[in-house]
Chain A
Amino acid sequence: MTESRKTTDSTVVELRGAAFGYAGRSRVARLDLDIEAGSAVALIGPNGSGKSTLLQGILGLAELTEGTMKVLGTTPAAARKQIGSLPQADSRNAELPVSLRQVVAMGMYRALGPLRPLGRSGHRTVDAALDRVGLSAFSNRLFGELSGGQQQRGILARALVSDPRLLLLDEPFNGLDRENRDTLLSLVRELRAEGRTVIVSTHDLEIAQQACTHALLLASGHTADEPGHPASFGRVREALTLEAVEHAFHDATVEIDGHTLTAPSHDHTDTRNEPADRSAGTASRRRRKAD
């Protein structure tokens, strides 16, 4: 979070003193960072720290209440064609009788316009996206009949059909079983390796360690009116220090990878030393014992 950074052509998201919110009220503020092409950034923080608001801000759907922002060198609205989005699972109406294939095709609606048929190349693109997320065999299943993990992968396929340079994934790992989680993690790694930029919000520190190059830890405000703000940003190993996690979650006791880490103030224990292949490592707030 240096003050004076030189923006390069490879900068995908550039935030300078940015704050985002709704109805003129900032929900997340003091954002001053560059996200480079090919990086995968884990957006970590407790509820209310502004993770989703930041993602919405990058999409241009939350207000930029302070500072400046560039996405893919331009405004979010102009960049939107090159952005793929996986919103939170609860935003979908899985009761609707739409097949997985129809859902994935929705990712092409913008480019197709109201009437142009999907055509052979469109069908091939949908097939390729489904194949990529390992759901070819489920193509004609109703979306609502798929498991939570398969649904998430289906929505990722929908984001991929437009061949996006930037992918924004909002809590994609919530409620996933191990198998679906691992599949999604390896997909994130593959996408990054292709030079795409991925920003993924999560409560899960293990995901940052396994699939991301960078982490942005967001802390919630001390009061309801105070917006969330960054606690640390940088390469995963540098950003995910226990001190930063403590700052973000306002708690000295955090569970990571099934290990409970209790640190006195100013302890610089680094989470990178923790094993990462245990059960889902969720950063959870614990109540401090009253003295």
Chain B
Amino acid sequence: MDLGLLEALQLPFMARALATLAVLSVAAGIVGLGISFREMEFVSDGMVHAVFPGLVVGAALGGTAGLLPGAVVAALAAAVLFTLLDRRGGAGSDAAIAVGLTGLFSLGVVLVSKQRGYVAQLQDLLFGHLLTVTEAQLWQIIVVAILAVIVMLLTGRAQLFRAFDPEGFRAAGFSVLRTDLALSAATAMLVVAGVQALGVLMVVAMLTVPMAVARLLTRRLAWLVPVAIAVPLLCGVLGLWWSFVWSVEHDLAVSPGALVVLLLVAAYLLAVVLRVVLRRRGSAVPA
């Protein structure tokens, strides 16, 4: 089998995988702005871990169809819990989130280990199954991602103002709690959208790395979201293609999700180097 990039991406399972990554890239680019501006990377990691028991319970009760409802319930509960913990602030809140995420993750592992054939299930939940996303799952991902984007669009101005100047934001009559809950809910929905395809362990990369790359590459607000969308799209196409080629030509079964995440991390490192070089050049230019 000797397919080119375009032909390979037209194969139904590849097309669905690419569509999944494209939807996640757009949604993560938009929600990621809020996560990055509010420095909520750790909280979103906590949310991802908290979703895990929801997935397990959902799968136990309803099989594959139960995954999404289970994840939604767990993610929204985690969003409210972590927002309230973050609001409480202080040194204890990070510790409480850490306790929460490890506790809920362990709960998920205990629950899943009671199932038969749990190793395969666990692997799917942890690492995702990008190439076996079904059409129904793709539609679920699209709907949940659109909801996350709508929440961000409706609160985008508030999110920006709140991240920039919380005191001024409150003084202008905005509600900090409502805005924070909206961001947490959007993050939770994106986690739910991404977790089936990328798995619990890798979805957080999609939430945080693209915007981190964008912030290294540009300091213009208007460019952040387009760059944060373009980077995972490019990494997605490359990751899927390489995974396909290695599998077909070299008989190497490489997880495409993990490859995409690795490429995202490589893009981040490249952006760091680029930033350092540009900064040095900039500082070498006489004022």
Contacts and interface: CB of A to CB of B under 8 A. Distances in A.
Interface of A: 59, 61, 77, 80-81, 83, 85-88, 91-93, 96-99, 102-103, 106-107, 109-110, 112, 114-115, 142-143, 155, 158, 168
Contacts of B224: 97
Interface in B91-118: none
A112 B158 CA distance: 11
B219 A92 contact: no
Main secondary structure on B side of the interface with A = helix
Contacts of B218: 97
Contact of B164 (A61, A92, A112): A92
**Closest 8 CB pairs between A and B?**
A87-B167, A91-B167, A85-B171, A97-B219, A80-B173, A109-B157, A92-B165, A106-B161
A239 to B, nearest CB: 26
Interface in B123-164: 153-158, 160-161, 163-164
Interface in B190-237: 215, 218-221, 224
B173 A106 contact: no
A92 B160 CA distance: 12
B174 interface: yes
B156 A114 contact: yes
Interface residues of B, number: 26
B172 interface: yes
B153 A106 contact: no
Q: Which of B37, B155, B173, B215 counts the most chain A CB atoms within 10 A?
A: B173
Contacts of A92: 164-165, 168
Given A96-B37, A106-B161, A112-B157, A87 B168 contact: yes
Contact of A87 (B154, B156, B165): B165
A114 B218 CA distance: 25
B166 interface: yes
Contacts of A114: 153-158
B279 interface: no
A109 B215 contact: no
Contacts of B166: 91
Nearest to A103: B164
A205 to B, nearest CB: 25
Contacts of A143: 164
A140 B220 CA distance: 10
A106 B215 contact: no
B156 to A, nearest CB: 7
Given A112-B157, A115-B154, A81 B173 contact: yes
Interface string B271-283: 0000000000000
Given A93-B163, A97-B221, A110-B173, A85 B153 contact: no
Contact of B171 (A83, A102, A142): A83
Contacts of B170: 59, 61
A91 B168 contact: yes
A142 B218 CA distance: 12
B15 to A, nearest CB: 33
B34 to A, nearest CB: 12
B213 to A, nearest CB: 14
A87 B160 CA distance: 17
24 contacts: A59-B171, A77-B173, A83-B171, A85-B167, A85-B168, A85-B171, A88-B167, A91-B168, A92-B164, A93-B163, A96-B163, A97-B215, A97-B218, A97-B219, A98-B164, A98-B221, A102-B160, A102-B221, A106-B157, A106-B168, A106-B172, A107-B172, A155-B165, A155-B168
A106 B171 contact: no
B159 to A, nearest CB: 10
B109 to A, nearest CB: 37
A158 B161 CA distance: 11
B220 A97 contact: yes
A142 B172 contact: no
A115 B154 CA distance: 7
A124 B149 CA distance: 30
B143 to A, nearest CB: 21
A109 B165 CA distance: 13
B217 to A, nearest CB: 11
Contacts of A86: 168
Nearest to B157: A109
Contact of A99 (B158, B171, B221): B221
Given A61-B170, A106-B160, A155-B168, 18 more contacts: A59-B170, A77-B173, A80-B172, A87-B165, A87-B168, A91-B166, A93-B164, A96-B37, A102-B160, A103-B164, A106-B168, A109-B157, A109-B172, A110-B172, A114-B153, A114-B157, A143-B164, A155-B165
